[in-house]
Structure 1
């Protein structure tokens, strides 16, 4: 494996990171209060307390996918969608790359919406009336906070994420401790078991789509800066555990809160709904903490989105790149805040549709790495857009197979898959079907062709 191309691989001089840094990056990226909403969403599938906790554990453990894909960045020193060119071909990689970029900016927009609603609630505490003008001001303030992060490099990013991990992580758990006693344990423990296939699996799939699968596209973007002398096991553990701890605990509190804040899932402003369950003296600190928890997620999304834009060979200046993402961060939230009344409906729809394409890509990329690249490595010539193979049909076919299967088992306001019936109706199980289909096809095609043909 060659590692001499600085335009493809991260220069060795910049690869000084340690696994501990990855722990802080992914811990900070998962302390957002939105995890509470995910926890309540699990209970919304009519599950018992034990089933809900199990779904939260499995859902949070999906970050093992991010942890494993981070190993590819450690070994090669390349970002995610640069390495993805090997599995799909330089041109074949364009559409998955574009889908990854859309997912990142979509998540960015979702978090900006949440941050704007949180700022609105904070301003409301100080007596400012809720109005469209205040909404626009809140949106502008939050977007400016995020754009400021684009000025920082990798080393500063690690320092910022470490700060957020300690400060806002501690504040978040302090608030969660205050919320726990409000749980109606009698109601919670009396909930009967839901259907394991019809409710439990769909609950897991929506969480997996919004956590491990969604963030898999950014895995190598950060591990590529790791010193290659570090072990793959430590990188895997740092990413997986760093994300699992806050994500599971915060979703767990969401499960508990589902009894004391029954309208949490249906609320147009779930952050404010949580704030109303707190003592008045705690609300200001809560809203500040909620904003602080959202910023790290936005930083990760924005950085990886800009990396993906470059991987698409869209070479624009720094000011232009910032302007493009700023426009997206403003226009999508404006639609959600002013024209769409159901925040979580849009949230779930977004996760479900994009999740199918991302799950298929993740399976194809991961098994291509397992079966071939893990031993053969990544050759710079293969990843260069001028010298690399234009189309790798193995990766393309396996990816398309996953997408087709996923949509066949999915229904939405835009289409209805012919097999989206029974347990597949109104669920996100199509995401898991897409992942499984792409994985199986990748393995089959690998067995049918020699390594030279791949």
Structure 2
């Protein structure tokens, strides 16, 4: 394979100007140079607020009351711990984005090798556009619910097509424009969530029998651990995305602040939403197993609350999809798609639209099977996290953690070529953990041999997978980067070099 340093071959769109300075972000997967790193750590706060405005958190909170038999205070502890665990990992691995100035899918080349990275990257890409399709369908149904509730307009085929098209188009617009548009939308969504929270609090104070809420007996510690595992699993899916939103931060940005801001932004939403669902479940236990929680709550809430609730839900789903699609554009470029970043995003948008129409109009019964397939793919997220984290830990004391030129080089001269383009240690750890994670999995058409254990039964397979991949990666010999590769020319900020840890 001939060496290549051509950015066009990577699908990157290199500009001589600041890649994020214009209204539309032009910079793709190529590492951000020091003079363009104008980001601030506080910008991460609204990003992780927006990433968690999900109605599913209400359902999960209700499930902690109904199925796990926890009381109010235990739910509070579970929600806080879930935010700390899942988005603590997101924050820690986000620091690598500051180190390398590149998206997580690109930095992963340094871990798995320029060819080896294609394997976890492909699964990650498929999982992304799969969940984006599910979110688009859910968002379109939410819009239909609002139209029915407010204007009395009933659903029909033409309206389904229009609402789905509008939802996907808005998602593509925000994610295609890039970092600045996302920051603005995320900031306003934070305000919207604040207003929504106040309205819900007023409703709960006036309508909930608080003596029943606080008189509920405590559940077992095992059920608390299971609850943490279930809720944290949702946040874990954002870990590979974390570096994407930290790549514009200067080298001197505090790693501890990155982690703290990430946790606080996510926790601001996760804890109240889970608690809201738990409190609602006292009088409405059916919320815990509602197949469509968006429409379910839209039906039971009074109109003055149902409308802002549905609007918040729609905005939340739209921004979650936008953040995911933004990162998916980088994944596409890393996989070899030769399109500018904004156009690479369009691939996922088209797939979401076509797939959404199929699920809403043609293959409605296929939805549950499709979700099962995506759950199986999610195991690869956890396997990737453990391997990437160990590799990142080994790089923490290096003067240059990631070589920007080597990341762009997909040929034999790349520092990250390893053996035939593969880092066998990383691939081995990822493969072993992937098989182990599947063994804990229990879904509609697949049951792993360890699915009936406590770890498998209570949704902790993702945690076991991370631990296994990290242990295997740690005990294998440290990978040796290509000794014939040129010495990195980029110098990192002197203040950063003085930091021994993060």
TM-score, length basis structure 1: 0.89
Q: Corresponding residue for 1:11?
A: 33
Residue 407 of structure 1 pairs with residue 438 of structure 2: yes
Q: Corresponding residue for 1:370?
A: 393
Residue 324 of structure 1 pairs with residue 355 of structure 2: no
Q: In structure 1, how many angstroms separate the alpha carbons of the residues matched to 2:371 and 2:459?
A: 9
Q: Corresponding residue for 2:257?
A: 234
Residue 35 of structure 1 pairs with residue 53 of structure 2: no
Deviates more, 1:421-430 or 1:434-443: 421-430
Q: Would the aligned equivalents of 1:73 and 1:219 in 2 still touch at CA under 8 Å?
A: yes
Residue 130 of structure 1 pairs with residue 155 of structure 2: yes
Q: Would the aligned equivalents of 1:179 and 1:257 in 2 still touch at CA under 8 Å?
A: no
Provide Cα deviations, 1:143-189, integer angstroms capped at 9, x if missing partner. 122122134132232222222222x1223212321342343445544
Question: Which one has the bigger helix percentage?
Answer: 1
Q: In structure 2, how many angstroms separate the alpha carbons of the residues matched to 1:202 and 1:353?
A: 19
Q: Would the aligned equivalents of 1:80 and 1:217 in 2 still touch at CA under 8 Å?
A: yes
Matches within 5 A, 1:74-85: 74-85=98-109
1:18 shift after superposition: 0.3
Deviates more, 1:124-133 or 1:311-320: 311-320
Inter-CA distance 437–157: structure 2 relative to 1 (3 Å threshold) = same
1:306 shift after superposition: 0.6
Matches within 5 A, 1:35-434: 35-49=57-71, 50-61=73-84, 62-125=86-149, 126-166=151-191, 168-181=192-205, 182-197=207-222, 199-211=223-235, 213-316=236-339, 321-338=344-361, 339-340=363-364, 349=372, 352-375=375-398, 377-383=401-407, 384-386=409-411, 387=414, 388-389=416-417, 390-424=421-455, 426-434=457-465
Inter-CA distance 317–23: structure 2 relative to 1 (3 Å threshold) = closer
Provide Cα deviations, 1:32-81, integer angstroms capped at 9, x if missing partner. 33322232233353231243332222222210111011111112211101
Secondary structure at 1:265's aligned position in 2?
Answer: helix
Inter-CA distance 287–434: structure 2 relative to 1 (3 Å threshold) = same
Q: In structure 1, how many angstroms separate the alpha carbons of the residues matched to 2:231 and 2:147?
A: 31
Secondary structure at 2:443's aligned position in 1?
Answer: coil
Inter-CA distance 16–362: structure 2 relative to 1 (3 Å threshold) = same
Deviates more, 1:318-327 or 1:68-77: 318-327
Q: In structure 2, how many angstroms separate the alpha carbons of the residues matched to 1:431 and 1:394?
A: 21
Inter-CA distance 322–379: structure 2 relative to 1 (3 Å threshold) = closer
Gaps of 5+ in 1: none
Q: Say which one has the larger Rg.
A: 2
Q: In structure 1, how many angstroms separate the alpha carbons of the residues matched to 2:456 and 2:254?
A: 43
**Pairs aligned (count):** 444
Q: Corresponding residue for 2:23?
A: none
